[in-house]
A and B are shown apart, each in its own frame.
Chain A
Amino acid sequence: MIERTNPAPVRTEGTVITFTLNGEPVAVAAPPARRLVDVLRHDLLLTGTKIGCEIGRCGACMVLVDGRPMNACLTMMYQVEGRKVTTIEGIAGGPEALHAVQRAFLEEGGFQCGYCTPGMIVSAAVLLAERPDPTDEEIIDALSGNLCRCTGYGGILRAVRRAAEIGREERCHG
């Protein structure tokens, strides 16, 4: 594979915007209206956040801002000033760790091409953080902003149910 270095020097024009990214403080020089998705993918090379429609319909760019799911294509840099941003790269809380949702997606086959998967996992993770034992209706509600074209959602639904089960097992044993 080719070297994945920054294609252009990180922009120096614009305002310096500071926020917390996956637990680390960062300062980025960017015009305040620059899209978060561009800063993540282009400036910071965090390409786990995907782009699919750029109008907030597909959910491939889903990230958490202060724990709430947001489409990074509709989020401007000034909106994350001083906030905590979590991307798929930080969802597990450590570089080698896997979130229960990630483990469940692996086990159940909740993905195929994988392009919607980071956004899907971010949405599922925040659902389980808020509702550890979601009903199917709650799962459907939480994931209805994330499109998948490969799986037909069966594997995704089973994976989120399984992740809730993993959570229950861990609470019992932990």
Chain B
Amino acid sequence: MILNRKTAGDRWRIRPDGPAKVTGKLAYLTDYAAPDMLYGLVLRSRYPHARIRAIRTERARTLPGVRAVLTHRDVPGLNAFGISRQDQPVFCFDLVRYVGDAVAAVAAETPEAAERALELIEVDYEPLPVLDTPEKALAEGAPKLHPWGNVLHTNEYKRGDADAAFAACAHVVEETYFTPRQMHTYLETEGGLFVPEPDGRLTVYAPTQHGLLDRLQLSRILAMPEDRIRVVSSPIGGSFGGKDELNIQPYGALLALATGRPVKIHNSRRESVRAGLKRHPMKITMKTGIDASGRLLAHKVRIVADTGPYATLGAEVLNFATEHVIGPYRYANLDVESVSVYTNNGMSGEFRGFGGNQAIFALEGQMDRLAALAGIDPWEFRLINLRRSGDPGPFGQRIARTDGAYQVWAKLKESELWREREAAASDPGGKADATRPPWIQTGIGAAMVMHGFGLGYGIPDPAGGRLRLAEDGKIEAVFGYEEFGQGLLGTLEMLMMDTFGFARDDLRLVVGDTDRVPDSGSSTASRTTAMIWQSLRRMEGPFRRKLLEAAAALLGRPADGLRLGPGGVTDAKGGEPLIRYADIAAKMEEPIEEETHFHFPVSDIEKIGAHFLYSYSAVAVKVEVNRLTGRVRVLDQYHAVAAGPVVNPMGYVGQIEGGSGMALGFALLEDAIMENGRYLTGNLDTYLIPTIADLSGRVAVEPVEDLPEDDPYGPRGIGEIGSVGLAPAIAQAVYEATGIRINRLPIDPALLIAKPEDLWKAVSGQ
């Protein structure tokens, strides 16, 4: 059933954070201001690659209104950060490796004084050769960007002998795919407020996807114990992975501590583009062979990822891509090698889809090309090789049992859009075609997506949460997760109401404050809904029992005749509360509280990053190609998603629609082009994301909620999967419309403009 407001019925609920958002009353962390506040700015490198000879700050420091000018000499602790590997300097001192590198930071009484101070900082650079492609960085004799060289990470997976197997293949397809440097383009740029507290602690109000990890990283840099730092990190004006790593936090924190005054930093879009993360550009070469019946005999893949100057999560993204170029299919022989390379380009890092977008674009491209070569319908071709219930994962690892791949395959086949394609195939040049001008061509394509969620094997991936009856009678649900728009608060509220029978007004949802939350792990990797669900499953029994026993003692009647309801504890029939939660709270002698900690479920294979839980999706799309302009319009989309039960329908539809909007940008519009290590784009006038005019077509979202019997894991992650499948589906739809194969995103319109003589033939009908 297509999920929408109508079919969701009373489970379509207004988000708890909604009223404050639609009225403009919600203060984002970059809206904060404090009395006596200073303005912070960061001096970024003038060159993509240079040696620093000297830094002189005297002129800047003596400028009226300037309160601090900091460089590498002013970092009390570790002058480096990085979620996974700390190889990014807070302040550069010997080398700069990209145009976003920080060399100094200033705090001043006005933004104008801070800007002037930046201009007065003198840095002597000695420019070095710019390694602006992974090929240059890997070339023999290339300058080393780090003492350990220019390779951040390699990975591989081999089974059988792919090279030998190609000889036996009836058809082999070889292709190289290129994907763009996509920008997250969260509407709220990085920023926040940093406040030194009277007791010597530091409060950081700045977005992140994992407050406790920011606290750990800041404690290393500041040489301050973690408990002296408080990170308040929600609400957030969009992140999509882009704010998970530290960005302005080290500078705000150092400036606030140096001046003893609150410091505000809010990046301009230009600075956000220059310093911020992007999606890894990847070059993926694939050679894939089948036998005469369409069975995959050999799949050879080489991935080269441009990770930019520092690690952040580049290794983890590469691991994910390595797993997902294998995807939901069975192969007789596999040979996958991948490398993530340091360059002097912009920073690449975590971005919704996490390497899967690039991998699946290439993989699905191979499936469509092979099907065409073998003369098999592209969707039927996928079924021949699809992994089924009980199959292992891409690395041969044991995974949670699922038939998700087949479920979404079958749903798509029955979908209205796919039936339209089949009808059109049996009636070429039929009625629908007659009304269109001859330079408008339409096509329908589809793609399969398998997406692992959670961080995977070998990576600490804690989960957990806390429930308590607060002193004022509110039931607190406390999780170390962040609300960046995905609807975490709405989902948490619905789960609390559905699990326990509480009313909305009974609840207080607490997230995004390291002074208050337990370690729930990160709000990344499509994991939070599943982890909240699993946390509540663990806490449900004990917390209910504690509440009922406290009520029973106060009421003087047995607990087993009582139940939790809206407003308070009722008798077995429900109705008016016998005692309100506030009354229990007022009289409780010891805290009524339950906490749980556990680890995200992982497989038992020793392969770093291998997943245990997967979501699946099948995407069909209808496009219209204008052969005069080369422009592609997306008319109609269908998404089948197999990810277990739908917890929050509004959030579910929003994640798939929103994710697919990003995928449309990835396929048709977006690329933060760099030349010689410098961005050719600085703002949203030249970096174009989809507008409502690009995304006004129909989108149908159809969840498949069935899980295997006795499945203990509940809802699967859907935060990223919507951003993956549309790009390869568009590429195939363009092929069906025009006969032109796409191997590079975003699709270059020049490729799709018909030659004048072909157009003349079309127009004149000759």
Q: Which residues of A contact B (CB under 8 A)?
A: 1-8, 41-42, 45-55, 57-58, 60, 87-89, 92, 98, 102, 105-109, 111-118, 121, 136, 139-140, 143-144, 146-158
Contact = CB atoms under 8 A, between A and B. Distances in A.
Interface in B643-669: 650-651, 653-654, 657-662, 664
14 contacts: A50-B237, A53-B269, A55-B684, A57-B684, A58-B187, A88-B24, A105-B22, A111-B21, A113-B188, A148-B692, A149-B186, A149-B658, A150-B485, A154-B653
A4 B30 CA distance: 12
Contacts of A115: 28, 186-188, 237-238, 485
Nearest to B661: A152
Contacts of A139: 692
Given A112-B487, A113-B187, A114-B235, A4 B27 contact: yes
Contact of A112 (B19, B193, B658, B691): B658
Given A41-B31, A48-B24, 12 more contacts: A7-B264, A52-B188, A54-B268, A105-B18, A114-B237, A143-B691, A147-B185, A149-B238, A151-B661, A152-B657, A152-B660, A152-B690
A113 B689 contact: no
Chain B interface, DSSP helix/strand/loop, else mixed: loop
Question: Which 3 A-B pairs give the minimum distances between C-beta atoms?
Answer: A48-B24, A113-B485, A152-B661
Contact of A152 (B20, B35, B109, B699): B699
A147 B685 CA distance: 12
Contacts of B653: 109, 154-155
Contacts of A117: 21-22, 24
Contacts of B385: none
Contact of B19 (A87, A106, A150, A156): A106
A113 B691 CA distance: 17
B99 to A, nearest CB: 19
B351 to A, nearest CB: 12
A107 B32 contact: no
Interface in B21-40: 21-28, 31-37
Contact of B18 (A47, A111, A146, A153): A111
B579 interface: no
Given A2-B205, A147-B684, A113 B236 contact: yes
B484 interface: yes
A144 B33 CA distance: 31
B35 A150 contact: no
A173 to B, nearest CB: 22
A4 B26 CA distance: 12
A140 B14 CA distance: 24
A169 to B, nearest CB: 16
A2 B32 contact: yes
A133 B88 CA distance: 54
B187 A47 contact: no
A2 B240 CA distance: 26
A109 B650 CA distance: 6
B285 interface: no
B695 interface: yes
Nearest to A117: B21
A107 B10 CA distance: 11
A45 B31 CA distance: 9
A112 B235 CA distance: 11
Contacts of A156: 692
A69 to B, nearest CB: 14
A7 B486 contact: no
B752 interface: no
B32 A4 contact: yes
Contacts of A42: 33
A49 B25 CA distance: 10
A106 B23 CA distance: 10
B340 interface: no
Contact of A151 (B109, B186, B657): B657
A152 B726 CA distance: 13
A109 to B, nearest CB: 4
B23 A88 contact: yes
B5 interface: yes
Contacts of A150: 238, 485, 654, 658
B188 A154 contact: no
A4 B14 CA distance: 27
A87 B485 CA distance: 22
B21 A114 contact: yes
Contacts of B268: 54
B693 A144 contact: yes
A144 B696 CA distance: 11
Given A4-B33, A113-B188, A153 B685 contact: no
A48 B23 contact: yes
Contacts of B5: 107-109, 158
A87 B24 contact: yes
